[in-house]
Structure 1
């Protein structure tokens, strides 16, 4: 099972590491897009979300406090869904549908990150193929 969890971690973080690279190398373009969505402090938002995706993704991938890594991804995904994909504000049906898909995708990923946080916190040391155990978790060992 350790190998399956590792494969799952690799597949899960691929999106975040790729997105982090875009946020940190194409900040100006992404800042403009975030500003068009009404995000307060769009440059800080783009850089902050890029850092959260990079740190969270690497921590989860490498197994260095993977529970914290999953939590960082969760903390980035929830405001992103609400601020960047507010489909309820769209009047054009096609734009509304596209934003709703992205909103629900972010919610689904947030749910998966939250489950990974719990899984890593509860069973982190038993999963194997990680460099460290969980930062959070049971104290009954």
Structure 2
């Protein structure tokens, strides 16, 4: 079971770690897009969300308070879905569909993050983690 959970954590974390890298290597382009969505302090928001995606991804990957890392990812995913993928405000059909897909992807990942939180906070015998849970359910 420990190896299966570790493989799942690796697969789950790849998205967030690669996203964090993109936030830092393509900051200006992402800040322009973020500003076009009406997000305040776009550049700072890109850098801050990149740092939190990276920390949350590393937390889950390494098993360092992975329950807290899962909660960080949950909040970021919900905020990103609502602030960046407002498909209900888009009139162009192609852009609307792209935003709807990304909105739903973020909701699904938020659900997975919530399940990971419960999993890590409930089971202290996960093995292959550096620390135990910060929360206890």
| Alignment pair present for 1:86 and 2:79 | no
Cα shift at 1:86 = 0.3
What is the aligned partner in structure 2 of residue 99 from structure 1? 99
Displacement over 2 Å in runs of 4+ = none
Aligned residues: 137
What is the aligned partner in structure 2 of residue 61 from structure 1? 61
Cα shift at 1:6 = 0.5
Cα shift at 1:75 = 1.3
Any unmatched runs of 5+ in structure 2? none
Secondary structure, aligned partner of 1:127: coil
RMSD: 0.8
CA distance in 1, matches of 2:46, 2:14: 18
The TM-score, its normalising length taken from structure 1, stands at 0.94
What is the aligned partner in structure 2 of residue 41 from structure 1? 41
Cα shift at 1:25 = 2.0
Secondary structure, aligned partner of 1:20: helix
- CA deviation string 1:68-98 (max 9, x = no partner): 1111111110110001100001101111111
CA distance in 2, matches of 1:75, 1:43: 19
CA distance in 1, matches of 2:126, 2:55: 21
Cα shift at 1:26 = 1.6
Any unmatched runs of 5+ in structure 1? none
| Alignment pair present for 1:17 and 2:23 | no
